[in-house]
C-alpha cells in the first residue's frame, strides 16, 4: 500500500530511475533517518525485477528533506559517474518553484551572493562580499504571481551550494513559506514550500537531452489563490 513517503516514478530505464520525491523523506539513510529515497528505490527495484540481495542505486544529487520534486537516481556505477560529472560542471538545468513570504519586489533578475555553512547551527550565512571559506552562489529568479502577502517564484540556480535558495531568499527578507530554519513565520507540516519542478540533463549512455517535471504535492493547494498547479495524485 502506498504511503505519503512513497516516491512517484517519472521515468525508468536500465541506467536511470527518476522520481518525484515527497516532502519529509530524506534522500539518504542516516544515523537519525531510517526511511530514505535510497532505501525506497532499492526496495522498489528489488521487488519489480525480483532481484536477490543488494540492489545498486547511485545518488548523484540531493534535495533537502523538507523539499519535494524531481530527483534523478543512477542504476549503474557508470551512469552514476557520468551524471555526477554533469552536476559538477553545471550542465544540468534545474528549475524550482518556491512560495515566499512577502511581496517580492522584482519581476525577474539575478542574485549573486557569497555563502558559508555554519558547522554548529547547520545554517548557511549569506554575505555580499567574499569571506574566508565562502563560495559564490548565483540564482536567477522570476516572479510568477503574488497575493495575500505571498509570492510565487520560479528559480534557476546556476550554482549548487548547500541551502542556497533557502538562505539567499531569506537574506532578502523573503523566507520560503514554512522554512523555520531560515525565519519563516508559518508552519507547513513536514515540508517547506520549495519544489524541484523541472530538471534537464544528458542521458548518461544515449547522450540525448532529457527533461523531467513534476507538479508540487497536494499540500500546495494552500497556494491555489496564486495559481500554482498541484499534483492530483
Name the residues annotated as catalytic.
64
Contact predicate 178/186, CB 8 Å: yes
Instruction: Say if CB 69 and CB 155 are below 8 A apart.
Output: no
CB count within 10 Å of CB 127 equals 13
Strand partners, 212: 199
Distance CA(99)–CA(192), nearest Å, equals: 9
Q: How many CA atoms lie within 13 A of 18 on its CB side?
A: 20
Q: How far apart are CA 74 and CA 80, in angstroms?
A: 5
Cα 7 to chain centroid distance, Å, stands at 14
Which cell is 48 given?
519489480
Amino acid at each position: 500500500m502506498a504511503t505519503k513517503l512513497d516516491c512517484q516514478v517519472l521515468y525508468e530505464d536500465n541506467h536511470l530511475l527518476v522520481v518525484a520525491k515527497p516532502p519529509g523523506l530524506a534522500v539518504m539513510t542516516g544515523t537519525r533517518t531510517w526511511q530514505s529515497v535510497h532505501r525506497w528505490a532499492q526496495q522498489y527495484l528489488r521487488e519489480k525485477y525480483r532481484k536477490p540481495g543488494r540492489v545498486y542505486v547511485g545518488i548523484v544529487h540531493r534535495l533537502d528533506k523538507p523539499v519535494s520534486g524531481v530527483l534523478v537516481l543512477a542504476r549503474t556505477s557508470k551512469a552514476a559517474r557520468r551524471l555526477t560529472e554533469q552536476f559538477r560542471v553545471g550542465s544540468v538545468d534545474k528549475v524550482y518553484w518556491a512560495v515566499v513570504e512577502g511581496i517580492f519586489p522584482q519581476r525577474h533578475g539575478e542574485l549573486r551572493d557569497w555563502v558559508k555553512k555554519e558547522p554548529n547551527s547547520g545554517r548557511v550565512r549569506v554575505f555580499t562580499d567574499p569571506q574566508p571559506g565562502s563560495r559564490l552562489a548565483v540564482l536567477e529568479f522570476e516572479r510568477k504571481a503574488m497575493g495575500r502577502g505571498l509570492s510565487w517564484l520560479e528559480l534557476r540556480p546556476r550554482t549548487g551550494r548547500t541551502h542556497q535558495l533557502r538562505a539567499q531568499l531569506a537574506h532578502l527578507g523573503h523566507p520560503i513559506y514554512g522554512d523555520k530554519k531560515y525565519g519563516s513565520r508559518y508552519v507547513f507540516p513536514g515540508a517547506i514550500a520549495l519544489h524541484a519542478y523541472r530538471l534537464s540533463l544528458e542521458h548518461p549512455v544515449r547522450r540525448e537531452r532529457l527533461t523531467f517535471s513534476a507538479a508540487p504535492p497536494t499540500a500546495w493547494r494552500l497556494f491555489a489563490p496564486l495559481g500554482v498547479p498541484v499534483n492530483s495524485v
